[in-house]
Amino acid sequence: MTDIDLALLTIGQAPRPDLSASIRAVLPARTRVEEFGVLDGLSRAEAEEHFGAREDGAVLITRLQDGDTITLDPGRIEDGLQRCLERLEAEGVRTIAVLCTGEFPTLQTREAWLMEPDRVITTAIPTLVRDATVGVLVPLAEQIAEAREKWSVLAGEVHFAAASPFDDGTDALVAAAEELVAQGARVLVLDCMAYGERHHAALRAAGVTVAVLVSGQVFAHALAPFLR
């Protein structure tokens, strides 16, 4: 049996402190956490061969350990995540959190508690924002069409923009957020686990005053009670 209390599973390569920081910040100090990735041990060429995005298909984006980003096919990644879940369960892990806000409808475990950000945020955020006009930020413009379907659960008007959380600077993020606010957004949703506190802080520093919901932080507070 493993002595891990919580396995954090990314679609890329582990560890990813930029993704896990929000979760680690709200967990009890005694919690034993380890990180795993679907692409662990693979070269970029191997990752692209087995999991790379298909032409004109849906896309996910993540960062490799060398700092470069890679675009991935959601279906292939879902298969990879499932294999990782089965391996972690076989090793005795009983709580597993996926570190991606993508939709993975077929993921399942036999006994382990599986927490998926997509299921959490698309349930919690509509309750929080009610019928307010919402602006949703995603990493890539190619993801907006899928995001429209995902966030159709919101009761109010929804606008979308893209700005990569992997850029060193935050100018594009601020510009995208200001565009959404100009369209009437009273709440901004940062829909990717790679958005973090630095992005929230950059928006505040730029004078963006509307509510900002960072997916990783919303997910972290939902997950924390299961580890206490």
pLDDT at 227: 81
pLDDT value of position 1: 52
Task: Kindly list the strands in the beta sheet with 33-37, ordered across the sheet, starting from the edge strand earlier in the chain.
Answer: 33-37, 6-10, 95-98, 113-115
pLDDT digit of tens for each residue in the chain (228 aa)? 578 999 999 999 999 999 999 999 998 888 999 999 999 999 999 999 999 999 889 999 999 999 999 999 999 999 999 999 999 999 999 999 999 999 999 999 999 999 999 999 999 999 999 999 999 999 999 999 999 999 999 999 999 999 999 999 999 999 999 999 999 999 999 999 999 999 999 999 999 999 999 999 999 999 988 887
First to last CA, the chain: 20
All structural domains of the chain, each given as residue ranges with its CATH number in brackets, are: 6-117+218-227 (3.40.50), 120-216 (3.40.50.2300)
Predicted confidence at residue 28, as pLDDT, reads: 85
Q: What is the pLDDT of residue 5?
A: 92
Cα torsion 85, 91, 93, 99: sign: negative
Q: Which of 29, 35, 33, 61 lies closest to 48 in space, CA to CA?
A: 61
Question: What pLDDT score does 56 carry?
Answer: 85
